[in-house]
Amino acid sequence: MKFKKKYKVPVFSLLVFSLLIFIAPGVNLWAEPVSAVEPLRQSAEQDKVLFDKALLLSTQKEWVQAEKIYRGLIKRQPLWPEAKNNLAVVLLKTERLDEARQFLESAVISSPSYRIAQQNRSKLYNYLASQAYNQVLEVKAPLKLPEFELILQFEPVNSAIVEEKVSERQTEPELEAELEAEPEVGRNFFAEDTADINEQLASWSRAWSEGDIEQYIQAYSTRFIASDRKTFSAWKNARKARFKQARGVDVSIEQVRVFFESTAEPVQGEQYVLVEFLQHYQSASYQDKVLKQMYMRKQQNSWLIMSERTIKTF
């Protein structure tokens, strides 16, 4: 009777396998592989601890140490607005207003629904507008910096979800999404004023495009403060001369944001807003895209421009 030939396992291989098990008893050869998500989860937890530490340092006015931690968090987690807002507060406390404004802008962009960052940005813009107004009028009394709010709770978010949400926001108006998400106190009261402001700005840009200097000038208050400190009359004459020289001008605006000075019911004649928007300018010889800011006051049922400035050129 013949037996089938059996396959032989090399003795050397068996010895090596046995030796590995003997010298490394803690190794589980049947353990499941470590998930790639686990290090990210651990990193998020570590960042939460660091955020709490930076928050404590901020409340203790340890600005230098808090700033260092916040910057590290922003570098690792660029989509999280909490550290950006709080770093902006630290920068404001140490009188670095321009850099603080940039971080507040970034915080609002990464999470437009974050009310604390929006409120802080609105306060800062109001302060900057008042500061510019006082400088032009040579007001010597110091302007007190308002109090800015820290975000106290840090909630790590799955970055994939955040990226998806950011992508979704790019396809729908941010302001509409924000209003639908959660109504604000006083929102209905200011809705009419917001519509009027948008209509006024549309008329202003249309008059500029059509070369209608009279309609264009009517959008400005007689108390308008020009950035070069010209009187209103001198500024008006300069604009008229520039209108005559311009050819093929087309001005359009988008992404208008309106920031009311207070959520309380405004007093007649004392209504002010800060407005920002993207402005596209094109003529026969020049074109640009800028982020513009205007300070407006309601006078006789019309929102008129008190001051304007370019924040950023793209």
Average pLDDT over the chain, rounded to an integer: 76
Q: What is the mean pLDDT of residues 183-205?
A: 76
Residues 140 and 175 in one domain: yes
Assign 161 a pLDDT band (cuts: 50, 70, 90). Answer: very low
Q: Which residue has the higher pLDDT, 302 or 108?
A: 302
Q: What is the CATH number of the domain that holds 162?
A: 1.25.40.10
Gap between the Cα atoms of 18 and 190, Å rounded: 78
pLDDT over 90 at 172, yes or no: no
Q: Which residue has the higher pLDDT, 27 or 40?
A: 40
CB 51 within 8 A of CB 154: yes
Q: What's the predicted TM-score (pTM) here?
A: 0.47
Q: Is residue 9 part of a domain?
A: no
pLDDT value for 125 = 80
**Nearest CA among 293, 275, 123, 259 for reference residue 184:** 259
Q: Which residue has the higher pLDDT, 87 or 301?
A: 87
pLDDT over 80 at 111, yes or no: no
Residues 61 and 110 in one domain: yes
Q: What is the CATH number of the domain that holds 276?
A: 3.10.450.50
Q: Is residue 276 part of a domain?
A: yes
Residues 193 and 274 in one domain: yes
**Nearest CA among 239, 247, 234 for reference residue 214:** 239
Assign 267 a pLDDT band (cuts: 50, 70, 90). Answer: low
**Nearest CA among 17, 225, 10 for reference residue 139:** 225
